[in-house]
Amino acid sequence: MTSFRTRITTALAAGALAMSASHALASYDFINIATASTSGSYYPAGLAISKLINDNLKVRASAQSSAGSVENVSLLRNQEANMAIIQNNVVRDALNGTGVFEGKQFKELEVLAPLFVNTDHILVRKDAGVSSLADIKGKRWAVGAPGSGTLLSNKAVLQGGGLTVDDVKAEHLGQTEAIAALQNGIIDGADLTSGVPFAQLQQALLAAGGRLTLYSMTPEEQKAVVERSGWKAPFTIPANTYSDQPEPIVTVSHLALIMVPSDFPEDLALDILKTLNDNVDDLKAAHGAFRSFDLSSAEEKINALKLPVNGGAQRFYDGL
């Protein structure tokens, strides 16, 4: 267990970073990209984007780990970040003041670009007795850290089985901790979200020696999750994506978006998108989740979600 001294030291360091970042962010000379935990796809994606910015533009950039999408809205609101990766339902709720943002509406959000599809991986112990989503009831389940998009994804998946978080023995663990707890037999399962393939999940499956498996939804369960959540989409993980996975995995997904504050400079937004578009191969080499990154179809995705777009980003899409 992490010592009290270590936690305090970490908190003080994080606070100092946030204060210095907030000071630098005012002029947009420094781009601080809020991501999520280091175990998912948001953090390595943020690192890859920040590297391209540092290598090609006259501003500095870095990626900051966080609790995830919900916290990232707060980081933008408090000017502790000026770019963030946020899943589509969290953006919608923040703009409208609904869901977890009821009474805390934040309208100053604009889309820079769709990033990639984030997919639900329902990882369970083979001996946990999970043969349907309804079977998760009463199980020791990692539902995601507070303030994370993973928590919202878990709620959506549980809804598909007619359940809520109150119906499980909920453990509010981040994805790294959830995988470790599964490997050690402490919990029964978790819904983990990432791009496909999910490298850490693949490592966990190999290390578990057949003790862990990915749950595949029935078509009826998939439809229930999509309809009851209102923001998940059907998704199928191809066969043999992961070890000991001879059949496709039926699941759901959502879209991750690169969001910026409404005062984000349009010329800088345009330059960043040009840089990303010119270096797509570097992004795809950096992380497998970028396989679905395609700015040529970005405007169509944004319009379907009916979200506000940064002016510089719109100029970029108009020029494609």
Note the residue count of the chain. 320
> Which class for 239: exposed (0-12), middle (13-18), buried (19 or more C-beta within 10 A)?
exposed
Question: In which element (H, E) is residue 222 found?
Answer: helix 219-229
- Residue written as token pair 């979600």: 305
Average pLDDT score over residue span 161-188? 95
Residue 26's pLDDT band (cuts 50, 70, 90): low
- For CATH 3.40.190.10, the residue range(s) in the chain are 4-115+256-318, 118-254
Between 51 and 25, name the one with better pLDDT.
Answer: 51
Contact criterion met (CB below 8 Å) for 101 and 219: no
DSSP strands (E only) in 151-284: 169-171, 189-194, 212-214, 233-237, 249-261
pLDDT of residue 6: 37
Fold of 4-115+256-318: D-Maltodextrin-Binding Protein; domain 2 (3.40.190)
Q: Six-digit token pair at 35?
A: 């991501």
Most confident region among 4-13, 39-48, 248-257, 290-299 by mean pLDDT? 248-257
pLDDT in tens, 185-233: 999 999 999 888 898 899 999 999 999 999 999 999 999 999 999 899 9
User: Which residue, 255, 274, 263, is CA-closest to 311?
Assistant: 263
pLDDT in tens, 107-117: 999 999 999 89
Second CATH level (architecture) for the domain 118-254: 3-Layer(aba) Sandwich (3.40)
Q: What's the sign of the alpha-carbon dihedral 118, 254, 156, 173?
A: positive
Residue 9's pLDDT band (cuts 50, 70, 90): very low
pLDDT of residue 315: 97
User: pTM for the full model?
Assistant: 0.81
Contact criterion met (CB below 8 Å) for 293 and 248: no
